[in-house]
Amino acid sequence: MTDEQASTPQNKSSSATIVTVLLAVVLVVVAVVLGSKVNHRNARIEELQTQLSQAQADTAQLQAQLAESKAGSTKLQAALDEAKAGSAKLEAQLNEAKAGGAGLEKQLAEAKAGCVKLQTALDESTAGSAKLQAALAEAQAGCMKLQAKVDETAAASAKLSGQLQAQLKEAQTRAAALQTQLDQTKADLAKLQPKPKK
């Protein structure tokens, strides 16, 4: 057997060992790469899970704020409606008081006209007409009573009118303030509404 024939099996054995080592190295490298990718993927999944939990918590909080704002808006709307109703009622009372004062003024004018007519009839009658004199005195007394009543009613009407005017102004001011609060609440609600996803 020659040296060349003896070295051939040895060379084949060395080549097989090298190939085996190379394959082992490749497998180790592949395992390391795959392990790194798996770890990276797991870390990414955990990060996404955390972000999802935070997003769900934020959504729940916004939902609670939205519900609270809607409840506040309902209360403000009810208060505004009540204030408007009170304002309308006060305005009706004021108009009624003004109408009553106008009626008394008309009665006073009619009474004064009657007094003038009686005075004219008295001037045209004879000086000894006791009947006309008594009628004139009665009419004048009635005029004085009616004048006093009108003056008293006018004062009361003016006082009531002033009070009603002040209450109406206060109610209108409150209604305006409530309207402003309602508008602000609606604006806040619009801000809290979730934006549509693109």
Would you write out the chain's pLDDT as a tens digit for each of its 198 residues? 444 444 455 666 777 788 888 888 888 888 888 888 888 888 888 888 888 888 888 888 888 888 887 888 788 888 888 888 887 888 888 888 778 767 777 877 887 887 788 777 767 766 556 776 777 788 788 878 888 887 888 888 788 888 888 888 888 898 888 998 888 888 888 887 766 655
DSSP state of 196: P
In angstroms, the CA 88 to CA 84 distance is: 6
Nearest to 127 by CA among 136, 140, 114: 136
C-alpha 191, offset from chain centre? 14
> Is this model's pTM higher than 0.75 or not?
no
